[in-house]
């Protein structure tokens, strides 16, 4: 076990719900309805019965909120080698170069594919697709739609195509736990589902059996009080994998977006992203005393990789220049009147907050944005469990390493999701009979959700201290003692339990990694150390978390 890989207390190994009242059998069940899940469902559908299970509605996840766009080499002056190099550099030594190379080569095709499905990307002056720049990219290579509504256009396109192709959708259906094969515990047989009423109470529990389960549940931004992610993003797939004994890799690498709209010290609702593309178009960061934040901090200054910008902002806020210690300012006035057309969503959000980006500096702060780590997988979704595939943010394909390069994630979701769907349309895993599920059941009362999220933002944010991480682990262990089989299953208590499970695992990985690398930054060891050029895996066994894989392991 790695240093800091201490033991948690009593996390549940199974989510309780009334016993199964119905069974449904399909070829492929996809959990989650963002870009990765929809791409998988769509590609498998022509020859398979495919069911998407979503705990909300199709577009409730992160995809629909993405602003920036999709990164791909489309400019004749750009090269695959440069996109690979930028991705590896952002990933701070922990990317899988083969996976990065494969993604970069497939990215232009993913964009053409989306266009053929009906996505309308913004045209540039020459009639070709407009390309913009974001942090860490040495070239303009981000394709966008509707100005800053890229994700909404991708979600719309994939929703329409999937539904028209006959993909079935089970909405308001909470995926509880994976079910394994009788006598074949390393092969998945299906998933237990709780159907939810509109008020979030459980209407019925059932079992969906399938030859293949595709986990596409997204990330876990809502584990933090301060996040750009929508309310549905509570780490359900990550927690489900932990309860199934599946190792989660690179959990400490939570990417904090440098700029969400700062609306007050205690905001814990989803925060409005101020896209990196705004800096790509020329906006500049200033501190509370009016000094530039990124000058001299990195050769790319305001367009440095995201981890660098978030860390610089956090360090500057800690110094409280001008008495301002919880936000900085983004000056986008140089963009001029074009701002409104290029960033319609951001313009509207700023105006609602009483800010005119054409004349005012926008108050911004970093917030949890993207989950680099997850289920060990590859660009074909392959996991350690037969019949189980992981795609999108829940997966760790090796593409992002210790820090994702901006706008590589939607491209990755498209490529990996489509790869999985295509493979499943060609061949399905064998059918296995579901075995009865076992393991200690329990749920966390929802009243603890806010305290867990606040502790994560306070102690496991952009800059982490060993004392803070220790305090958060102690607090969450205390909270875990309230997990009980007597708590009523509702959407809120199911989510709160998943939030606690994932938060506890992230804290242990962050405490174990005694260095600073990518988006994991510690104040006690500020450098990246050669002996830590490795991955950490977190495993939940018998309700206890263990971290595997530190130096000398």
Q: Which tokens sit at 93?
A: 């030594």
- Asked if 406 touches ligand SIN (CB under 6 A), the answer is yes
Contacts of residue 138, defined as CB under 8 A and 6 or more positions apart, other chains included, come to 82, 85, 86
Among the candidate windows 5-13, 402-410, 470-478, 509-517, which touches ligand SIN by CB under 6 A?
402-410
Least distance to ligand SIN, CB of residue 513, Å: 23
Q: How far is residue 217's CA from residue 460's CA, in Å, rounded to a whole number? A: 22
Cα dihedral across residues 128, 134, 140, 141: positive or negative? negative
Q: How far apart are CA 189 and CA 211, in angstroms?
A: 7
Instruction: Give the largest CA-CA distance in the chain.
Output: 67
Catalytic residue among 48, 149, 249, 306, which?
Answer: 306
Write the interaction track for ligand SIN spanning residues 11-50; mark x where CB under 6 A is met and - where it is not: ----------------------------------------
Please say which residue, 276 or 396, places its beta carbon nearer to ligand SIN: 276
Site residues for ligand SIN, window 86-105 (CB under 6 A)? none
Is 461 a binder of ligand SIN (CB under 6 A)?
Answer: no
Q: Among residues 68, 237, 381, 550, which is the contact residue for ligand SIN, using CB under 6 A?
A: 68
> For ligand SIN, what does the binding mask look like between residues 355 and 374, x meaning CB under 6 A?
---------------x----
Q: Is 275 in the site for ligand SIN (CB under 6 A)?
A: yes
Residue in the shown chain whose Cβ atom is closest to ligand SIN? 68
Report, in Å, the least distance between residue 164 CB and ligand SIN: 28
Number of residues located near ligand SIN, criterion CB under 6 A:
10
Told to check if 67 binds ligand SIN by CB under 6 A, we report yes
Return the closest-CA partner of residue 377 out of 213, 506, 513, 248.
248
Minimum CB distance to ligand SIN smaller for 51 or for 312 = 312
Q: Which of 155, 409 has the CB closer to ligand SIN?
A: 409
271 binds ligand SIN (CB under 6 A): no
Judged by CB under 6 A, does residue 331 bind ligand SIN?
A: no
The distance of closest approach from Cβ of residue 413 to ligand SIN in the complex, given in angstroms and rounded to an integer, is 11
* Residues forming a β-bridge with 463: 521
> Of 62 and 498, which CB lies nearer to ligand SIN in the complex structure?
62
Q: Which residue carries 């090796």 as its tokens?
A: 398
Chain centre to alpha carbon of residue 93: 20
Name the token pair of 350.
């700023």
Among 155, 407, 457, 497, binds ligand SIN (CB under 6 A): 407
What's the per-residue H, E or C state across 307-318?
Answer: HHHHHHHHHHHH
Shortest spacing between CB 328 and ligand SIN, in angstroms: 16
Between CA 339 and CA 347 the distance in angstroms is 8
Residue indicated by tokens 């990195």: 298
- How many Å apart are CA 49 and CA 168, to the nearest integer? 8
Distant-in-sequence, close-in-space partners of 9: CB < 8 Å, separation ≥ 6: 477, 480, 481, 543, 544
| b/e code 83-113 from CB counts within 10 Å (16+ = b) | bbebbbbbbbebbbeebbbbbbebbbebbeb
> What CA–CA distance (Å, rounded) separates 196 from 490?
8
**Closer CB to ligand SIN, residue 62 or residue 234?**
62
CB of 63 to ligand SIN, least distance (A): 11
Quick check: 68 and 252 in contact, CB under 8 A?
A: no
Question: ∠ CA(245), CA(248), CA(250), 5° rounding?
Answer: 165
Choice between 240 and 273, CB closer to ligand SIN: 273
Is 338 considered catalytic here? no
First to last CA, the chain: 7
Choose between 152 and 277: whose C-beta lies nearer to ligand SIN.
277
Q: Least separation, in Å, of the C-beta of 255 and ligand SIN?
A: 8
| Nearer to ligand SIN (CB atom), residue 157 or residue 493 | 157
Stretch that binds ligand SIN, among 96-104, 315-323, 406-414, 477-485 (CB under 6 A): 406-414
Q: Is 310 in the site for ligand SIN (CB under 6 A)?
A: no
List, in sequence order, every residue forming a beta bridge with 194; answer none if it has no partner. Answer: 174, 205
Q: Which is nearer to ligand SIN, 139 or 172 (CB)?
A: 139
For ligand SIN, the closer CB: 277 or 414: 277
Q: Does 145 bind ligand SIN (CB under 6 A)?
A: no
Among 277, 332, 420, 510, interactor with ligand SIN by CB under 6 A: 277
Least Cβ distance, residue 429 to ligand SIN (angstroms): 32
Q: Which of 409, 418, 497, 516 binds ligand SIN (CB under 6 A)?
A: 409
Q: What is the DSSP letter of 123?
A: B
* Residue entry with tokens 């393991």: 439
**In angstroms, rounded to a whole number, what is the distance separating the alpha carbons of residues 243 and 501?**
9
Segment near ligand SIN (CB under 6 A), from 171-179, 272-280, 383-391, 539-547? 272-280
Long-range contact list for 320-323, CB < 8 A, 24+ apart?
320/288, 321/287, 321/288, 321/289, 321/291, 322/287, 322/288, 322/289, 322/290, 323/288
Position 276 contacts ligand SIN (CB under 6 A): yes
Residue 446's contacts (CB-CB under 8 Å, 6 or more residues apart) are 490, 492, 493, 495, 496
**Part of the chain binding ligand SIN (CB under 6 A), chosen from 200-208, 244-252, 269-277, 311-319:** 269-277
Stretch that binds ligand SIN, among 89-97, 199-207, 293-301, 404-412 (CB under 6 A): 404-412
Segment contacting ligand SIN (CB under 6 A): 83-91, 182-190, 270-278, 450-458? 270-278
Residues that bind ligand SIN (CB under 6 A): 67-68, 273, 275-277, 370, 406-407, 409
**Active-site annotation, residues:** 306
């Amino acid at each position: 076990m790695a240093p800091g890989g201490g033991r948690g207390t009593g996390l549940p190994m199974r989510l309780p719900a009334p016993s199964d009242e119905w069974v449904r059998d399909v070829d492929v069940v996809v959990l989650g309805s963002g870009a990765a899940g929809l791409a998988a469902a769509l590609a498998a559908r022509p020859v398979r019965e495919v069911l998407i299970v979503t705990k909300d509605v199709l577009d409730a996840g992160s995809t629909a909120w993405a602003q920036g766009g999709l990164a791909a080499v489309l400019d004749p002056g750009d090269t695959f080698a440069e996109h690979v190099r930028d991705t590896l550099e952002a990933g701070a030594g922990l990317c899988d170069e083969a996976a990065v190379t494969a993604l970069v080569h497939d990215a232009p095709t993913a964009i053409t594919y989306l266009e053929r499905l009906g996505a309308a990307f913004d045209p540039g002056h020459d009639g070709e697709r407009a390309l913009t720049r974001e942090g860490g990219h040495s070239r303009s290579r981000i394709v966008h739609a509707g100005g800053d509504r890229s994700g909404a256009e991708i979600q719309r396109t994939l929703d329409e195509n999937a539904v028209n192709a006959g993909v079935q959708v089970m909405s308001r259906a909470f995926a509880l736990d994976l079910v394994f094969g009788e006598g074949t515990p390393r092969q998945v047989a299906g998933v237990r589902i709780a159907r939810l009423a509109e008020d979030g109470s459980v209407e019925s529990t059932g079992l969906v059996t399938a030859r293949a389960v595709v986990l596409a549940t997204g990330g876990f931004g809502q584990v933090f009080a301060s996040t750009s992610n929508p309310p549905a993003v509570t780490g359900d797939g990550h927690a489900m994998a932990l309860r199934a004994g599946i190792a989660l890799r690179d959990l400490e690498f939570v990417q904090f977006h440098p700029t969400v709209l700062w609306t007050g010290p205690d905001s814990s609702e989803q925060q409005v992203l101020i896209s990196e593309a705004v800096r790509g178009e020329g906006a500049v960061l200033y501190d509370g005393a009016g000094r530039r934040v990124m000058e001299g901090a990195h050769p790319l200054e305001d367009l440095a990789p995201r981890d660098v910008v978030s860390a610089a902002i956090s360090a500057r806020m800690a110094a409280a220049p001008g008495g301002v210690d919880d936000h900085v300012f983004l000056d986008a006035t140089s963009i001029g009147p074009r701002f409104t057309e290029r960033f319609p969503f951001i313009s509207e959000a700023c105006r609602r907050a009483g800010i005119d980006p054409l004349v005012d500096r926008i108050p911004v702060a970093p917030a949890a944005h993207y989950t680099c780590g997850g289920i060990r997988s590859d660009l074909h979704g392959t996991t350690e469990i037969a019949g189980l595939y992981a795609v999108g943010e829940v997966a760790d394909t090796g593409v992002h390493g210790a820090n994702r390069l901006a706008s590589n994630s939607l491209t990755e979701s498209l490529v990996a999701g489509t790869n999985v769907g295509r493979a499943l349309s060609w061949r399905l895993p064998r059918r296995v009979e579901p075995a009865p599920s076992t393991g200690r059941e329990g749920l966390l009362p929802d009243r603890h959700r806010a305290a867990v999220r606040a502790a994560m933002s306070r102690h496991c944010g952009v800059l982490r201290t060993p004392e803070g991480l220790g305090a958060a682990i102690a607090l969450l262990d205390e909270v875990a003692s309230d997990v009980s089989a007597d708590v009523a299953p509702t959407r809120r208590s199911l989510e709160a339990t998943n939030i606690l499970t994932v938060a506890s695992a992230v804290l242990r990985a962050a405490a174990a990694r005694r260095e600073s690398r990518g988006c994991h930054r510690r104040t006690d060891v500020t450098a990246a150390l050669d002996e830590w050029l490795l991955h950490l895996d977190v495993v939940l066994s018998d309700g206890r978390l263990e971290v595997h894989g530190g130096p000398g392991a």
